[in-house]
Structure 1
Amino acid sequence: MRRKGTCMKQRLRRHIVLIGMMGAGKTAVGSELARRLRVPFTDVDSEIEAAAAMTISEIFARDGEAFFRDRETQVLARVLGGPPGVVSTGGGAWMRGENRELIRAHGLSVWLNCDLETLWHRVRQRSTRPLLKTADPKGTLAALIEQRYPVYARADLNFPARPADSVETSATRLIEAIHAAEPELLEQR
């Protein structure tokens, strides 16, 4: 008998695309989820940085947010056109209608839903968040939450974060939630 949360040979029928705010755990939980499902993991922000040979903060400073969002859509389309895997998007990716359509066409969207205090605890010491380079970064984060959460709520699956959960526990819970929401997504072999 296989223990819950252990690796199993599966075939992923569509991408699992993680959306949510910066600090929600998309990269950490996504990479663990991919490891367990034995599928590729792609962080769209990392792909953009690699293609541009600069950080997202540098792209924002040099070219602006609109330029970055266009590159984000291009990279997302390329990634979603490949073999199914787990994909982590930037916090603003889901806000663009074109990206939501791409994700819906190729995958299951999963919102990693985190409260303000958890997010703030995770991002407050990081200088790599260009949208938080303001006089009141926590207030800016709260405003982004107010703006984005109604749009994030359109995701196929709302996955509430539990701040005390480890990455491993979150991945186990997420696999269970995906099986419950869309059992045909994962084909066990």
Structure 2
Amino acid sequence: MKEKVLLVGARATGKSAVGGVLARRLAWPFADLDQRIEAAAGRSIAEIVAAEGWEGFRRREAALLAELLEAPGRLVLAGGGGVVLHASLRELARRRALVVWLKAGVETVLRRLAADPGTGRRRPALVAGASPEAEVRRVLAERAPLYAAWAHAEVDTEGSGPEEIADRIAAMIRPPGREEG
């Protein structure tokens, strides 16, 4: 059994919400990669990107992801939507963690983003000048092959709440009827 779970997927697919529930179900620690980056930098992702560009943010993201994956012990980790852009970390992630791709369609992602008014302040646009719909469509299309290459498993989040999704992932780690020894 792997000691870590890494949740990957686009923005608004439920990585943070599912990760928190899953960590409680497993009684494992939980970390949200974006929140850890913000805490270490003392500023929001939007502020980091404004000061350092996406390259600066991605450097911070890669360093922290590697550190968390290599650290001993159990962990449920909600990765940022772009962690899969770090090709050099894919094998480490797959070796050290059960990587689960949380999937959602364009309309669901747009609805979830619209329901979170703080998203725009915290997370800058990924595609300059694009409408939210155009950005989501482009990012999902570009990253889907990367999420697939990283993931050991895929979970469709359409129509399911964080608890149900967490239960499905927990069953991958601890199949029903098996107690941890």
TM-score of the two chains, using structure 1 as the length reference: 0.84
Match of 1:75 among 54, 64, 74: 64
Look up the match of 1:93: 83
Match of 1:22 among 11, 32, 43: 11
The residue identity in structure 2 corresponding to 1:188 is: E
Gaps of 5+ in 1: 1-11
8 Å CA contact 2:4–2:98 kept in 1: the answer is: yes
SS of corresponding position for 1:153:
helix
In the TM superposition, what is the alpha-carbon distance from 1:131 to its structure 2 partner?
2.4
CA deviation digits over 1:129-160, x for unaligned, max 9? Answer: 21256341210111001100111112111111
| Percent of residue pairs identical | 37
Superposed counterparts of 1:32-181, under 5 Å: 32-82=21-71, 83-124=73-114, 125=117, 126-127=119-120, 128-132=122-126, 134-154=129-149, 155-163=151-159, 165-179=160-174
Gaps of 5+ in 2: none
The residue identity in structure 1 corresponding to 2:68 is: V
Look up the match of 1:5: none
SS of corresponding position for 1:120:
helix
CA deviation digits over 1:13-36, x for unaligned, max 9? Answer: 421100000100000000100001
Aligned length: 173
TM-score of the two chains, using structure 2 as the length reference: 0.87
In the TM superposition, what is the alpha-carbon distance from 1:179 to its structure 2 partner?
4.6
SS of corresponding position for 2:60:
helix
In the TM superposition, what is the alpha-carbon distance from 1:162 to its structure 2 partner?
2.5
**Structure 1 vs Structure 2 CA RMSD:** 2.0
Q: Following the alignment from structure 1 to structure 2, what is the Cα–Cα distance between the partners of residues 152 and 21?
A: 9
In the TM superposition, what is the alpha-carbon distance from 1:80 to its structure 2 partner?
1.3
**In the superposition, relative to structure 1, how do residues 187 and 47 fare at CA in structure 2: closer, same or farther (>3 Å)?**
farther
Q: Following the alignment from structure 1 to structure 2, what is the Cα–Cα distance between the partners of residues 172 and 71?
A: 31
Moved over 3 A (4+): 132-135, 177-180
8 Å CA contact 1:13–1:187 kept in 2: the answer is: no
SS of corresponding position for 2:67:
helix
In the TM superposition, what is the alpha-carbon distance from 1:101 to its structure 2 partner?
2.3
In the TM superposition, what is the alpha-carbon distance from 1:66 to its structure 2 partner?
0.7
The residue identity in structure 1 corresponding to 2:152 is: D
